[in-house]
Structure 1
Amino acid sequence: MAHDHLIELLDLDAEVLHAYHHDLIGWVGREAADTPRIADLGAGSGTGSLALARDLPGAEITAVDVSPEMLAHLRSRADAAGLGQRIRTLEADLDQPWPDLGPIDVLWAASAMHHMADPGQALVSAFGALRPGGLLVIAELESFPRFLTGTADEGAEERGHAAMAKRRQEAGLHMHENWGERITRAGFTAVTERHFDVDLRPPLPPAAARYAEVSLLRMCHGLDGRLPSADLAALEKAAAGLVGRTDLSVRTERTVWLARR
């Protein structure tokens, strides 16, 4: 799938799951310094950076990502939202020695840690980047969004997710790690774990149908040649006919860890 579709998917995730993101940032805001300096690790399309800047008016954010395309999109969105003065971008590969981020009060890593080649080393780098008393935030997906639960296409969607999980495992992604244990091993203290169970039922806003469409098409693209043709055809057909459906839902699980240096 084209790079711009991944950007759209990340943007739609923030829009459709806005209640989750707002709840999470509110929790972080209560635990962070009054005017925190935040580094958004693996910032992607900027959904985290923008939400942090909006919901924490005193925050200054450094958005870090390896992709110049993502950072250009993020910069455009920040400027359009009038937040450009409080969000700076930094191109960096966090699997390499980390750049100097300056004094940091909060390290925000949303769906980023599982991409790290060596999560243990990344957490050591995170510990070194934070000021004493600073806050580490790791948010990870326990399950990717399901949209067709309770419909005739539920089985094909579940088989697609199972095949995608196998592909991620083969690619070496660190899904479902014991992040609490890893965080403690890196030297952090006061580790708190919180589970978010997102279950959005119809009627849903129009953006939810597009979110489902882009997600399912991305799945089809990733599983071409790896999924039985009947399941692939069912998912492609479902993705093509989502607008106007009244039986879509959005179900996903996220787990978040907060810890102190």
Structure 2
Amino acid sequence: MTDHDRTGPGHHHARHDSAQIDWEALGPILERGAELHTPLHQQIAAWLRELLTGVAGTGPDGVRRVLDIGSGPGVVSCLLAQAFPAAEVVAVDAAEALLERARARAGRLGLGDRIHTHHAEVPDGLDALGGADLIWSSKALHHVGDQRAAVAALAGHLRPGGLLAVCEGGLAPRYLPRDIGVGRPGLQSRLDAAGEEWFTTMRTALPEAADDIEDWPAFLADAGLRAPRTRSFLLDLAAPLSAEARGYVQTRLTRSVDLYGDRLDPDDRTTLARLTDPDDPAGVTRRPDVFLLSAQTVHTACAR
């Protein structure tokens, strides 16, 4: 599954069809996926701390309020609360079932007094949030038709010297060798291509979809922010994966079939049916060669 399916490592889900999704059923899957990506998000949090000290001049201890826009089940919200121990963190999401998971997670980790939730669509419904020293949004803004306007709306909530960090782009995650001994070699590449086509169709169908070049640093600059920075972070879980990680890959591949399997030829669909079958010896839950390699790109800039 390509990185364009945002039901993967955390709070990545399509706002335009959210009413049709069973978030109570999907919540545990999103939470487990985000937990697998914890090493990557810890790297990102450490980088944001450096930027707030060296570029924004605020410093980690000066971060008193953090907004996590598109928080999902709150895994990253809790990581941000740990990285910025003086801050209140507000998890913002359009799915109340996911916010319930965020509150429960915060309580289990002893962060319930510092993590609060706000039910809202992005970018609508954000006016009541107030200001923040750090605003984080991962894989949420590409589900908004006018991404440039969405960045500007978030930037409007930054306090002086505050930092906006948008996680968009990166590379499609890799799970499988080129030749897996089932079907034609190169399945992953064909699946990626189908995912790109699906993503383009999804973007085109969004309300008020703007035909903009996806230049996130330019969006940040247009919002009046300064000192743009971009950096990519790697998650590298080598084979053989844990049973939990292989289950995550199975879920991702199953979701790919649901979303854009009809763009693949019958042979590839047959291969995917075997890969996602827990009883098939060739399935990903039994294969020793399944891995997880993912790169996520973060774009940041500061308020003046």
TM-score (norm 2): 0.79
Is residue 132 of structure 2 the alignment partner of residue 90 of structure 1?
A: no
Distance 1:227 1:49 in 2: 36
Matched residue, 1:220: 257
Matched residue, 1:106: 134
Is residue 224 of structure 2 the alignment partner of residue 187 of structure 1?
A: yes
CA shift, 1:67, in A, is 1.2
Is residue 184 of structure 2 the alignment partner of residue 165 of structure 1?
A: no
Is residue 283 of structure 2 the alignment partner of residue 252 of structure 1?
A: no
Contact 1:103 1:129 in 2 (8 A): yes
- SS of the aligned residue for 2:192 comes to helix
Contact 1:151 1:247 in 2 (8 A): no
Contact 1:46 1:63 in 2 (8 A): yes
Say which is worse superposed, 224-233 or 163-172, in terms of deviation: 224-233
Contact 2:46 2:83 in 1 (8 A): yes
Matching residue within 231, 238, 254 for 2:268: 231
- SS of the aligned residue for 1:54 comes to helix
Distance 2:161 2:255 in 1: 40
Contact 1:40 1:107 in 2 (8 A): yes
Q: Show the 5 A alignment for 1:1-261.
A: 2-4=22-24, 6-32=26-52, 33=59, 34-36=61-63, 37-96=65-124, 98-152=126-180, 155-172=186-203, 177-240=214-277, 241-261=283-303
CA shift, 1:176, in A, is 8.3
Question: Per-residue CA shift, 1:204-232, capped at 9, x if unaligned?
Answer: 33321011011001111112433222212
Give the letter aligned to residue 66 of structure 2. Answer: I
- What is the aligned length? 261
Contact 2:23 2:95 in 1 (8 A): no
- SS of the aligned residue for 2:85 comes to coil
Distance 2:253 2:22 in 1: 14
CA RMSD of aligned residues (A): 2.2
CA shift, 1:71, in A, is 1.1
Structure 1: unaligned runs, 5 residues or longer = none
CA shift, 1:42, in A, is 0.8
Q: State the identity %.
A: 31
Distance 1:6 1:223 in 2: 18
Structure 2: unaligned runs, 5 residues or longer = 1-20, 53-58, 278-282
Distance 1:15 1:39, change over 3 A: same
TM-score (norm 1): 0.91
Distance 1:198 1:233 in 2: 29
Distance 1:47 1:117 in 2: 26
CA shift, 1:242, in A, is 2.1
Distance 2:42 2:175 in 1: 22
Contact 2:44 2:233 in 1 (8 A): no
Displaced runs of 4+ in structure 1, greater than 4 A?
173-176
Distance 1:232 1:138, change over 3 A: same
- SS of the aligned residue for 2:273 comes to helix
Distance 1:147 1:236, change over 3 A: same
Distance 1:199 1:43 in 2: 23
Contact 2:27 2:97 in 1 (8 A): no
